[in-house]
A and B are shown apart, each in its own frame.
Chain A
Amino acid sequence: MSQVKKGKVVSFNKWGYIFLIPFFVTYLFFQLVPLVTTFYYGFFEYYEKGIKDYGPYFYGIKNYIALFSGKLLLKYSLNTLIMWIIGFIPQIAVSLLLGAWFSDARLRLKAAAVYKVIIYLPNLIMASAFSMLFFTLFDDNGPVNGLLMALNIVPEGEPFRFFRYTLSSRSLVGFMNFLMWFGNTTILLMAGMLGIDQSLYEAAEVDGATPTQVFWRITLPLLRPILVYVVITSLIGGLQMFDVPQILTNGAGTPADSTTTLIMFLNNNISGNVNYGVGGALSVVLFIITGVLSMIVYKVSTQKED
């Protein structure tokens, strides 16, 4: 009897595996193979020369030595980090506030669902399209400068050149990332806040706590795991920052290379004549950083269960 049962279990498993095949085949060819070759070519001197290839010649860790001894990796990491911070600070602040409002049953917000949809909307626009929009808006001859001139904030015929100043260029990138992601973060934080036991709030109310005290003493501490998750995933997303600054600066990272991100650096090495060696090495470095950050997320999210 038990043997029959066992047999059934096995045969069900078989179907399970068969239905997993598409994922694994796709993963194998489109993820794992490129991943392994990327690691592999990181150790080679291998690039395009015209329409022919030079190499691959084994190069040891010279690609890595060149990356770490040059100033660019550090410079572009800092660029990426700064632009991420410019976007992330308002993002987390606004999201916390909105999350607190949306999850607070006592506020009795009307049409909360509509607002949730609206704040999420910017995320649905393609980043490149969004970036193109800002490029046009803040152009020397664009509507923003037109407005500034009409209001006599800048003199007629001398537009404020947003893309010529480090601060304004970086701020625009940060601002766009903020606009695109605060809705998503709000939804995440709200989910975390709704998971907090309502009786705690009621107890605080009975004890006469002000809303500010409730937020700082109850919501925030209990939200910590999800907050860490949001920070780290956003940081991982920030590391991959590419389309917004790429399109905003036409791939040049202007002014003075101050908006070139790590992925744009990677892109510079694989557009034009592709440099598989340096590109591979750089990808591996990014892979390791992202991997470490992901491990932290994993640690934090499993700790919660203890």
Chain B
Amino acid sequence: MKKKLLSVLLSTAMVAALLAGCNKKAEESTQPSETGSIVPGDAGNVVDVETLEDTGDTLTIYVWNDEWKDFFWQYMPGVDYTKVTDEDGNEKFPLEGKLGDLKVVFKQTPSTDGAYQKSLDDAIKNGDDMDLFLVEADYAKKYTIDGVALPLGELGITNEELADQFAYTQQVVTSDGVLYGSSWQTCGAGMIYNREIAKEVLGSDDPDTVQAAVSDWDKFEEVAGKMKDAGYLMTPRASTTYRVFSNNVSTPWVVDNKINLDESIKKWIDMSKRMVDAKQTKTGDLWNTEDAFNKNTTFCVFGPAWYFNFCMGYDESDDVESIAEKGGWGLCQGPQAHYWGGTWICVGANTDNIKTCSDVVKTMTLDKDVLKKLVEEQSQDCNSKELAAQYANDPNFGNKILGGQNPYAIFSKCIDQIDVSVMTENDQYFNEQIQLAMDEYFDGKLSYDDAYAQFEQKVKEKVPGLQ
């Protein structure tokens, strides 16, 4: 009898434990304050900040890399965290910490192969806690829509507060005339060249002289020939120039549900093939080019302000002294104006910490003091017309990496020429796959037709339903 009782007890406990897992968290379904219909305009209907309230205890933030996470811990007032040590023994900012009484959790997924988008999709579909999430220009259109993100007006952010932002940064995250995100940075980009090599081959490292030498793509290729003769690469990778061409397209990737290859991309393919064949550049991974940043091997790269500190090895703790640390780079506009990337902060539509989210968006993207720190300490290019003009005209403001040159004038000029009207929500897949496929064409592994067929096939796998 006792045995029987025991077995009944055990099995009940077991089945109960099994069922416990099915108890879904269903109680938290707090709605953000109702605001009524949104008037087409910038921020939409603006609610009073005072009425916003937090109800959750965790602030969940979706990111794909460390960049903004590190800014958050450094510049958001009221944060509390302990640095962690990574496998190489370097100190890093953590993925978890506190902001006031709230627990802060960063959910990090790399963006390669659409993995980050997948993490957002899953969170949105499952209704997971997603208070803040970051998006890139390549797929911003997909997430800055009603029901996924909150219009800035619902966070109590007014049009006046947003007036100082650059128009293109708002255009990217506008849907039906309403703003769904905000960015602290602009990503006007230029040609970053190695000063020593410029002196040796072009006779001068003055930005105007260099600019004159590369003012269009024919001249650019001409210089590439000179660089080759002098024993240098023009660019580290064929894909280094990709963004310049892809930003200057006049048609979108998809027209009438068919894949469309813009003339500008075709031009990139032709030029890159010639340059690879002439050994003026190399094929391979764009992100694996330390050689160009540490040794005098390569004449130029293309990039925006974030490229300086994030990629070019401006890292004083490193044992290799990079060219950036010596201030050995110069900046000019290059053959065509372009921008690269940009990160926007959006607030999830079902956030349970709307007050804090509003605070974070305001502090991290609109607060002039934070923006100044981002410019001065992190080489960011800030999203404020007023500050940008101020920096552009400040003779004392120079960038250490650029040997004291002031990048603002060049970047600002770039920003004015940026046109983001032909973006599609799947641009990331097109941009990734065309570079991958064409790299094999440049390498001679595939004929152009085969490479293009491979690109088409891979894109269709990523974006079903294309013709």
Contact = CB atoms under 8 A, between A and B. Distances in A.
Verify that A and B bind, or say they do not. Answer: yes
Contact of B457 (A72, A252, A272, A273): A72
Contact of B465 (A47, A250, A254, A269): A47
A251 B112 CA distance: 9
A141 interface: yes
Contact of A275 (B284, B440, B446, B461): B461
A254 B440 contact: yes
A170 to B, nearest CB: 14
Contacts of B440: 254-256
Given A48-B464, A51-B121, A251-B113, A272 B445 contact: no
A255 B443 contact: yes
Nearest to A49: B465
B84 interface: no
A4 interface: no
A10 to B, nearest CB: 13
Given A15-B11, A254-B436, A268-B458, A47 B18 contact: no
A295 to B, nearest CB: 31
Interface residues on B, range: 35 or more
Contact of B142 (A50, A164, A257): A50
Contacts of B113: 250-251, 271-272
Interface in A140-167: 140-141, 161, 164
A15 B7 contact: yes
A72 B454 CA distance: 11
B15 A272 contact: no
B450 interface: yes
Nearest to B289: A141
Contact of A272 (B14, B283, B454, B463): B463
Nearest to A257: B454
A20 to B, nearest CB: 10
A75 B263 CA distance: 32
B445 A256 contact: yes
Contacts of A269: 461, 464
Contacts of B118: 271-272
Contact of B143 (A51, A250, A271): A51
Contacts of B218: none
A164 B118 CA distance: 29
B278 interface: no
Contacts of B425: 50
A51 B445 contact: no
Interface string A47-70: 111110010000000000000000
Contacts of A51: 121, 124-125, 142-143, 148
Contact of A19 (B14, B450, B457): B14
A18 interface: yes
Nearest to A54: B465
Interface string B104-115: 000000001111
Contact of A164 (B15, B18, B114, B443): B443
A257 B457 CA distance: 11
A268 B291 CA distance: 32
B464 A278 contact: yes
11 contacts: A15-B11, A22-B15, A22-B18, A51-B142, A141-B290, A250-B113, A251-B112, A271-B462, A272-B117, A272-B463, A273-B464
Shortest beta-carbon contacts, A-B, top 3: A272-B462, A47-B464, A275-B464
Interface of A: 15, 18-19, 21-22, 25, 47-51, 54, 72, 139-141, 161, 164, 250-252, 254-257, 268-269, 271-273, 275, 278
Given A21-B11, A54-B465, A252-B436, 18 more contacts: A18-B11, A51-B121, A51-B125, A51-B143, A51-B148, A139-B288, A250-B113, A250-B285, A255-B440, A255-B443, A255-B445, A256-B440, A256-B446, A256-B454, A268-B462, A271-B114, A272-B117, A273-B426
